[in-house]
Amino acid sequence: MAPRDTSLPEPSGPVPPAAGRGRAAPPLDPADHERLLSGAHHDPHALLGAHPVPGGIAFRALRPFADAVSVVIDGGRTPLVSEGGGLFSAVLPLAAIPAYTLVVAYGQDEYEVHDPYRFLPALGELDLHLIREGRHEQLWQALGAEPMTHQGVSGTRFTVWAPNARGVRVAGDFSQWDGTAFPMRSLGAAGVWELFLPGIGEGALYKFEITSQYGGRFLKADPMARRTQVPPDTASVVTAAHHEWGDAEWMAHRGDVPVHEAPFSVYEVHLPSWRPGLTYRELAEQLPAYAKEMGFTHVELMPVAEHPFGPSWGYQVTSYYAPTARLGTPDDFRYFVDACHRAGIGVIMDWVPAHFPKDDWALARFDGDPLYEPGNAQRAEHPDWGTYEFDFARTEVRNFLVANAVYWCEEFHIDGLRVDAVASMLYLDYSRDSGQWTPNVHGGREDLDAVAFLQEMNATVYRRAPGVVTIAEESTAWGGVTAPTDAGGLGFGLKWNMGWMHDSLQYMTKEPVHRRYHHHEMTFAMVYAYSENYVLPISHDEVVHGKRSLVSKMPGDWWQRRANHRAYLGYMWAHPGKQLLFMGQEFAQGAEFSEEHGPEWWLLGDGHCAAGDHRGVQDLVRDLNRLYRATPALWQRDTRPEGFRWVVVDAADDNVYAFLRYDAEGAPLLAVSNFSPVVRHGYRLDVPGDVTAWCEVLNTDAARYGGSDVTNPDPVKPEDGRVLLTLPPLATVWLTPYPS
């Protein structure tokens, strides 16, 4: 049976009877005829639909596979004459173009439909102007598939940017994936193609059928799709937002305190595997509650934008505007974010503007030519990941990405964007040998277009989304990453401290007897600690690909590894900078991260012989977060040198570090770490003279955490400006002034 036109639901009443027959319409110009049927015409609306001609109004419809097409006016039906190739036409003796519909017949089945080619463009001149200028900050409202009512008829407006295409058509499940019936019109210099399809609504599957300037024809997913099929299927899905938000209070107050002066403790999560098999809505019932119970202020989600290859963990994105369909719909993801906010948990998401994969149905060579990627093949290729880099020099591409950052913040209430692989964007010679890159106009290696893009993105996000923070994963010494854009900086709010992460982990992997030779690796970060606003990240990157989990990096037997793990976390939480810990490390799982299995929750179960050991580490992280949030000295002056003072910095032979943190009022916290496996009794420390006694508020060697319970149970009083402490083995202790 012939494919059926399902672009409109079946009419509620009977199909109008035939009323007569019009005369044949003037034939199309042969060139127009060929271009129209081959999908290479820039203005199909000039040929299809209703148009005045000598002697009346000509009606022409393109309905492949139809047996007959009629035009219906005032309840009367007039058959159109077949011209071949799916074209039907007739001239009716009318003085003006009337309101009309079409009846399309496939065998014995007939359907009454609106003619897409009787509608004016559904995209305004201002939208086109902003797209052309690269300044449309809500681009998702202009491009893509937008369900709407247009000229009194419900349907979907399809728009796509494809400036190099000879023609573009819409294909979908409503046309049996044949785009012949629905060619789009070019809207001029902006490179945008548009078509309003009446009767198409939410849930419809679609792609764009593009004819390149070289004559090739191929289907592409919508770059602006706000919903997709579940991979490995690749169609875009028409959608609209219906979620009613319940986080007004959170949104109103999330920016009350600047992030660098507020507690910021982040739990990094790979959402599909945190609890494998759960949907967004099921995760909403569990993850916010867990993060809150553990004391974290935020969760950071590894990329949730749609990606075809699961083991990429989301870092090779094909649909930048669509939350992955693996876990549910866009509204389901909104529900998840809303639940986090109502639990008092902020949501950060990883965002990947540095590169995109080469899948032939997605962004790569989108309209037959390089479009989102640079035209220079050498520049377009990302040498590390076999992907394409974005063309940051092109205004429309920058607009696509800047608007995407805004989109997640405005449409999904995201509280922060952690921007992936910033270093790979900033340097023209990143992972490239001599001769594989071209210097900038000043002869340097900096990618000035990428710099301008990052500045524009940050400035736009901070202007449009108060309270949002942007975070750079930037691994070099580039200056001014977190400096304001108006001062020449990149404009990020925070930067991952990759140097601290690398150096401190290097130190911790050494046997204690060798740590004296690496003592500076734990202190060097304070040389540059106030050059940027830092996050201290123990992220997924540090527990994969043979790097081992955090506890497995530690030397010694099982007890020593856990003790090292706990001591390190205590040191980390006290150190200047915000905290980030990847899932599974909060309870010391021994295995590396696996996207198939997720965290090893069974380690905490009653049936596991070492469950108490893992629960002890989990209890420590909970207490670290609780004390951290309750102690302004640990976060209020994170970015100011006066908030920190070394007490012991050079005790390499002892493997001991001690420092003071101060809040805005000068109230101190003393943190002491002993990274040797011996107890140090009567360890002498110089302390402020105005503190009459110190009280131990945290000890990572406490028995409840799985330690040996060497503690300082009583207040410690200074003598001659010094205190004598008992330092437990492989442990960190925190002390605060004893209440007088």
pLDDT in tens, 323-379: 999 999 999 999 999 999 999 999 999 999 999 999 999 999 999 999 999 999 888
pLDDT for res 740 = 59
DSSP letter at 46 equals: G
Cα angle for residues 327, 331, 335 (degrees, 5° grid): 85
CB count, 10 Å around CB of 255? 16
Of 426, 413, 227, residue with least CA distance to 337 = 413
Residue 16: the pLDDT is 53
Neighbours of 346 (CB within 10 A): 25
Residue 24's pLDDT is what?
82
Q: How far is residue 181's CA from residue 209's CA, in Å, rounded to a whole number?
A: 11
Q: Are strands 298-301 and 346-351 parallel, antiparallel or unpaired?
A: parallel
Mean pLDDT of the region 547-565: 97
Please state the pTM of the whole predicted model. 0.94
CB 556 within 8 A of CB 513: no
Find the angle CA(401)-CA(263)-CA(520) to the nearest 5 degrees: 90
Average confidence (pLDDT) over 15-32:
76
Nearest to 273 by CA among 594, 727, 498: 594
Given a cut of 80, whether residue 11 has pLDDT beyond it is no
Instruction: Please state, in angstroms and rounded to a whole number, the distance separating the CA atoms of residues 332 and 718.
Output: 57
pLDDT over 50 (residue 381): yes
Which tokens go with 264? 């910021």
Nearest to 482 by CA among 447, 453, 454: 454
Q: Is the pLDDT of residue 10 over 60?
A: no
- For the chain, the straight-line distance linking the first and the last C-alpha, in angstroms and rounded, comes to 90
Helices (H), 412-447: 422-426
Identify the three-state secondary structure at position 139.
helix
Contact between residue 472 and residue 495 where contact means Cβ atoms under 8 Å apart: yes
Write out pLDDT tens, residues 684-710: 999 988 899 999 999 999 999 999 999
pLDDT of residue 7: 44
- What is the DSSP track for 634-684? GTTTTT-GGGEEEEEEEETTTTEEEEEEE-TT--EEEEEEE-SSS-EEEEE
The encoded tokens of residue 531 equal 């050059």
CA-to-CA separations, 536 to 260, 293, 429, 447, 638, in angstroms, rounded:
13, 22, 27, 27, 11
Only one residue has tokens 């993801």, namely 333
| Chain position carrying tokens 């605060």 | 736
Can you tell me the mean pLDDT for 290-302? Answer: 98
Which tokens in the block code for residue 410?
């405005």
Question: What proportions of the chain, in percent to the nearest 5, are helix, strand and coil?
Answer: 30, 25, 45
The pLDDT of residue 608 is above 50: yes
| Mean pLDDT, residues 200-209 taken together | 98
Asked whether residue 290 carries a pLDDT value surpassing 90, the answer given is yes
Using only C-alpha atoms, the chain has a radius of gyration, in whole angstroms, of 32
Say how many residues make up the chain: 740
- Relative to beta strand 355-356, strand 381-382 is unpaired
pLDDT at 9 over 50: no
Judged against a pLDDT cut of 90, whether residue 593 lies above it is answered with yes
> How many Cα atoms within 13 Å fall on the side-chain side of residue 534?
25
- Residues labelled as active-site residues: 420, 473
Beta strands of 67-150 (E only): which ranges?
A: 68-73, 76-79, 81-84, 87-92, 101-106, 109-113, 144-150
Q: Dihedral angle at the C-alpha atoms of 717, 721, 724, 729, nearest 10 degrees?
A: 120
Region 667-671: what's the mean pLDDT?
97
Alpha carbons 457 and 418: distance in angstroms, whole number? 12
Q: Are 195 and 158 in contact (CB under 8 A)?
A: yes
Please answer whether residues 569 and 655 qualify as being in contact, where contact means their C-beta atoms are separated by less than 8 angstroms. Answer: no
Tell me how many degrees the CA angle 505-595-410 measures, rounded to the nearest 5. Answer: 90
User: Average pLDDT, stretch 592-597?
Assistant: 92
Q: Where is pLDDT greater, at 377 or 199?
A: 199
Distance CA 169, CA 159 (A): 10
3-state secondary structure of 353: coil
603 secondary structure, DSSP code: G
Q: What is the reported pLDDT for 62?
A: 97
Whether pLDDT at 499 is above 80 = yes
410 near 404, Cβ under 8 Å? no
Average pLDDT over residues 58-73: 96
Q: What are the tens digits of pLDDT across the range 715-725?
A: 999 988 899 99
Work out the mean pLDDT of the chain and round it to a whole number. 95
